[in-house]
Structure 1
């Protein structure tokens, strides 16, 4: 019996093959992040809050009078990198800067009513986006996923 010709690289169906890369947590996290971020932007709209701006607004709404330094630490970014985000939120009328009694060098960030309303609307949209994106996971699987990701994050933040 003559040997069958081998399919070319273009003809081979590798859609279900597992590559070495797929065995790495980092690779899967990055690919998942790209998908989540793209869906997030699609859900909120391209002209709406970027994920980093939404995150900052979330913390300002939940922790009114948070200092810029604390906000930067919560977000895991350099304080200098936070300036553009705070400027954007202030420009949108979503927060104001206030001095801290006893130390006028520190600026506290305070959400405006407009900021609280924008956050509430965005939060509802983000919750719906995650619910749809993770619809194939059970509630327990979603809790486990968040718990595992949080453990990785916390470990990385303490090192």
Structure 2
């Protein structure tokens, strides 16, 4: 048996027949490009997502944030600490429950969200420039249907 040398093109045609593989490859492209867009803003994909959820749901608890982001509660603590250290969110006490915090964006967090939302929208516009508005809508609808499965 001979090994494939470094100049041989490696194919993945067998994997390309699977939707999951194609979705994964597309996601990796999106993630890599998005990281480049968010880095100058001091955000990562997870911190951007958390900021979006907190912005849209003022006074959300850390447990509900973890649930919304599909991450472990321990992971959300680190994320909340990061956003709070950057003065993008604040933790408030929940009346009647001393163990929980209500999360909301600060004024700086609101401004950062607006800036990041514009940057991510521009990122998606560039990434999906070859798709018509109808195709983009169809793509989102199809992905939502797969997710609901």
TM norm structure 2: 0.88
Which residue of structure 2 aligns with residue 146 of structure 1?
Answer: 140
Measured on the aligned residues, the alpha-carbon RMSD in Å equals 2.1
Q: 2:47 aligns with which of 30, 48, 53?
A: 53
Please give the alpha-carbon distance, in whole angstroms, between the structure 2 residues aligned to 1:11 and 1:42: 29
1:118 aligns with 2:112: yes
- In the alignment, the residues of structure 2 paired with residue 100 and residue 129 of structure 1 have an alpha-carbon distance, to the nearest angstrom, of 37
Per the normalisation by structure 1, the TM-score is 0.83
Structure with higher Rg: it is: 1
Give the number of aligned pairs.
145
In the alignment, structure 1 residue 97 sits paired with structure 2 residue 91: yes
Deviations 1:21-53, CA, capped at 9 Å, x for gaps: 011111111111111011111223356210010
Other-structure match for 1:41: 35
Aligned partner of 1:83 among 77, 86, 92: 77
Q: Which moved more, 1:34-43 or 1:54-63?
A: 34-43
Q: Normalized per residue, which structure has more helix? A: 2
Structure 1 residue aligned with 2:22: 28
Q: Give the match for residue 6 of structure 1.
A: none
Q: 2:65 aligns with which of 48, 61, 71?
A: 71
Structure 2, unpaired ranges of 5+: none
